[in-house]
Amino acid sequence: MLPFHIVLFFIYYPAGGRRRVNFNTIGVIGKYIDPGVADTVRMLCRFLSERGREVLLDEETATLVPGHSYATGGRDDIGQRCDLAIVIGGDGTMLHAARSLAEHEVPLVGINLGHLGFLTDIPPTLMAESLELILAGDYTVEERALLRGTVYHKGEEIGAYDALNDLVMHKWDVARMIEIETYIDGRFVSMFRSDGLIVSTPTGSTAYALSAGGPLLHPTLDALLIVPICPHTMSNRPIVVAGSAHIEVVISDRLRDHARLTSDGQTSCALHAGDRIRIAKKNKPIRLIHPAQHDHYNLLRAKLRWAENPSP
């Protein structure tokens, strides 16, 4: 017979080493100012209420469903009060939600009403079926790293930006290349002459980095990806580095035109000659919840339209 304390361990932690969470209070976040998500939001809120869950509706999403009877709150309210957040929209909606909730460590589920759906991977036709499984504890959890980019102008910090996909230093309103010095852990790597430079998480390897010729990385890898955009020298290739790496990018003093730093393609700031951007993995990841049958390679086949194996 097993000792008593070992029996308690197996009761508390199921197979896989993670304790299943009872998702009692659930935040609902819809695509910003998109009336097309209203019906799905109503169905989801009704579904959760009928199963005894408390619903906290994102205050901006609530404007899309007038006359509702659910509690509403901002992102901090969702982060502080909710055990789970369900995001309805496309990957852009999920990127914004992930950044806004990262400090609170609230797990996220995505219902895809967008196009590709690498992050919001549950189709609306399977919403009820998938959420039934998740609420019953039949799910998997993926931790996804975020980036933190800190901008310094003349030695002073002027801003910090988080990204789930990527941070991009790029030219702005000009048809010229820019020069970017790049360092990894304090060691000089290269002076890239290109249209810009992407620093990406594994999650972002299916986004802008893929279009720029970067490799696909499994989203759970502890790695970062550096991809030059249209480099002048064809031998400048994407580089995969350790997730613990500290990357520093310096905008060349010869820059005469504008450049920008963009986070996840959604927020940006102006860059000037001599500015330094220090990039590292953020100390808190986000957690994505998937139905237990989730298959990352099946997702790649479907979204990238890879050929299936031929029938025997």
pLDDT band at 33 (very low <50, low <70, confident <90, very high): confident
- Tokens standing for residue 294: 């989730």
- What residues does CATH 2.60.200.30 cover in the chain? 147-281
Mean pLDDT of 46-73: 96
81-140 pLDDT, tens digit per residue, is: 999 999 999 999 999 999 999 999 999 999 999 877 899 989 999 999 999 999 999 999
Catalytic residue (choose from 34, 58, 76, 91) = 91
Q: What's the pTM value of the predicted model, to 2 decimals?
A: 0.89
Mean pLDDT of 10-27: 59
Average pLDDT, the chain: 89
User: pLDDT at position 190, please?
Assistant: 93
58 vs 62: CA distance, rounded Å:
6
Is 34 marked active-site?
no
283 vs 77: CA distance, rounded Å:
22
The CATH superfamily assigned to 4-145+285-304 is: Probable inorganic polyphosphate/atp-NAD kinase; domain 1 (3.40.50.10330)
285-309 pLDDT, tens digit per residue, is: 999 999 998 889 988 998 888 976 6
User: pLDDT at position 252, please?
Assistant: 86
- What residues does CATH 3.40.50.10330 cover in the chain? 4-145+285-304
Question: Residue 198 is which amino acid?
Answer: I
User: pLDDT at position 29, please?
Assistant: 98
Instruction: Please name which of 57, 127, 119, 126 lies closest in space to residue 90, comparing C-alpha atoms.
Output: 119
Q: Is the pLDDT of residue 4 over 90?
A: no
Please answer whether residues 28 and 17 qualify as being in contact, where contact means their C-beta atoms are separated by less than 8 angstroms: no
For Cα atoms 293, 147, 223, give the angle at the middle one, nearest 5 degrees.
Answer: 65
Residue 81 vs residues 23, 26, 75, 107: alpha-carbon distances, Å: 11, 8, 10, 12
pLDDT band at 183 (very low <50, low <70, confident <90, very high): very high
User: pLDDT at position 11, please?
Assistant: 32
CATH architecture of the region 147-281:
Sandwich (2.60)
